A = this chain, B = another copy of it.
Amino acid sequence: MPDLTLSTSVEDYLKAVFVLSREGGTATTTEIATRLAVSAPSVSGMLRRLAEQGLVDHVPYRGVALTPDGRLAALRVIRRHRVIETYLVERLGLGWDEVHVEAERLEHAVSELVLERMAHALGHPEFDPHGDPIPAADGSVPSRVVRPLSAVAVGEQVLVQQVLVHDGDALRYLARVGLVPGASIRICAQEPVAGTVHIACADGDHVVGHALAERLLCAEVEPAPGAANRG
């Protein structure tokens, strides 16, 4: 069994591999380098070390994927990150545009004990302030049926569930216009040629571009009970 205590860098690499390989199966060196703002040779070197520790399967030139051990380690870091984000918003009043940076540092320093106390204080939330699922301690990830806003039919009423946005300016904009998890919106028009979606929400009408509409995941108005994570 490998050492349970991973370095900050190792944890960041595992998270990056997890996120980047979620769909396609493998992540590339260059993708990881871009995401972590390090050089490609640094990634190559780290991948070799991670492979030696049994955390990733690395086929040179073909890509890298997490082993079961690596996946569990990555999910634990992601759990820490998202519990911390939720705590900072719910209990210390930080804005959802501020917490990512904070959590990025704290996720490497918080012990299991403190983390579980935070989770307990929050009532063991399943989703963070952005609507991202919080992996459970055993590595299971809550799921629900969602569609991007860009795929919702005109006239439908839906609830915003998840906001796949990390940029601070974008998050502040979304909060200002009320496009946050839990918001109820109606699709007034889809304009594929213009690349816009026209919506009506509680505080008025808005037009969002296609790129953003792809990142706003929505669900039916009557979602599965017991999953409310925002007032």
Mark A residues whose CB is within 8 Å of B.
88, 91-94, 98, 101-102, 105-106, 108-111, 113-114, 117-118, 121
In-complex Cβ contact of A109 among B91, B98, B105 (8 A): B105
Task: Check if A114 sits within 8 Å of B91, measured CB to CB.
Answer: no
Copies of this polypeptide in the complex:
2
Task: Check if B121 sits within 8 Å of A92, measured CB to CB.
Answer: yes
Task: Check if B106 sits within 8 Å of A110, measured CB to CB.
Answer: yes
Task: Check if A109 sits within 8 Å of B108, measured CB to CB.
Answer: yes
The closest CB in chain B to the CB of A8 belongs to: B109
Which of A93, A101, A109, A117 has the most B CB atoms < 10 Å from its CB? A109
Task: Check if B109 sits within 8 Å of A93, measured CB to CB.
Answer: no
A129 to chain B, nearest CB (A): 15
Chain B residues within 8 Å of A106, by CB: 106, 109-110, 114
* Cα(A110)–Cα(B197), bound, Å: 40
Q: Per DSSP, are chain A's interface residues mostly helix, strand or loop, or mixed?
A: helix
* Cα(A106)–Cα(B111), bound, Å: 9
The closest CB in chain B to the CB of A110 belongs to: B106
A99 to chain B, nearest CB (A): 9
* Cα(A98)–Cα(B113), bound, Å: 10
What would 17 A/B residue contacts be, using CB atoms closer than 8 Å?
A: A88-B114, A92-B114, A92-B117, A92-B118, A94-B114, A98-B113, A101-B111, A102-B111, A102-B113, A102-B114, A105-B109, A105-B110, A106-B106, A106-B110, A106-B114, A108-B109, A109-B109
Chain B residues within 8 Å of A109, by CB: 105-106, 108-109
* Cα(A106)–Cα(B91), bound, Å: 17
Task: Check if A91 sits within 8 Å of B94, measured CB to CB.
Answer: no
* Cα(A109)–Cα(B110), bound, Å: 9
A77 to chain B, nearest CB (A): 14
A116 to chain B, nearest CB (A): 10
